[in-house]
Amino acid sequence: MTVNYLAIFISAMVAFVFGGLWYGLLGKQWMTAHGWAPVAKPTMPIVPMFISFAAELVMAFVLAGILAHVAKSGVTITAGLITGLLCWFGFVLTTLVTNHAYGKAKPMLTVIDGGHWLGVLLLQGLVLGWLG
């Protein structure tokens, strides 16, 4: 199996930027869904942001490995998008829905967080399929 490490890094960066935009737009709704009072000017959570990027780097590496193993006709954008979608649906969404159900989270929290991770995996699949 060969993977393109530059593509993995770029896809993690794209996912990280997407997360910043996603939660930048939906931050107040996300805080409300948590039951927290929205903050006028929130501080930047440096440690969680570092953890986020590290997790997205691991996710991109694993997605690249899965994609390299399952793409019978080669690593393509379509294969990347389909693999990202299936990984999101089969692993991320199911875990998120279960954890939020036990935590009695509001459904909007699941929609916001689930949409974020769908975007992350689709963007990573797109970049890995394109550059892989």
- C-alpha span between 33 and 88 (Å, rounded): 21
pLDDT of residue 75: 85
pTM of the prediction? Answer: 0.83
In one letter, which amino acid is 89? Answer: F
Tokens of 100: 């939020």
Tokens of 105: 């989270």
Q: How many CB atoms lie within 10 A of CB 67?
A: 24
Tokens of 9: 């890094």
Question: Residue 88 half-sphere exposure, CB side, CA atoms within 13 Å?
Answer: 20
How do the pLDDT tens digits run along the chain, 132 residues long?
578 999 999 999 999 999 999 999 998 899 999 898 877 777 878 888 999 999 999 999 999 988 888 877 778 999 999 999 999 999 999 999 999 998 889 999 999 999 999 999 999 999 999 997
Question: Residue 13 half-sphere exposure, CB side, CA atoms within 13 Å?
Answer: 6
Contact 125, 81 (CB under 8 A): yes
The region, left, alpha or beta by phi > 0 then psi within -120 to 50, assigned to residue 119 is: alpha
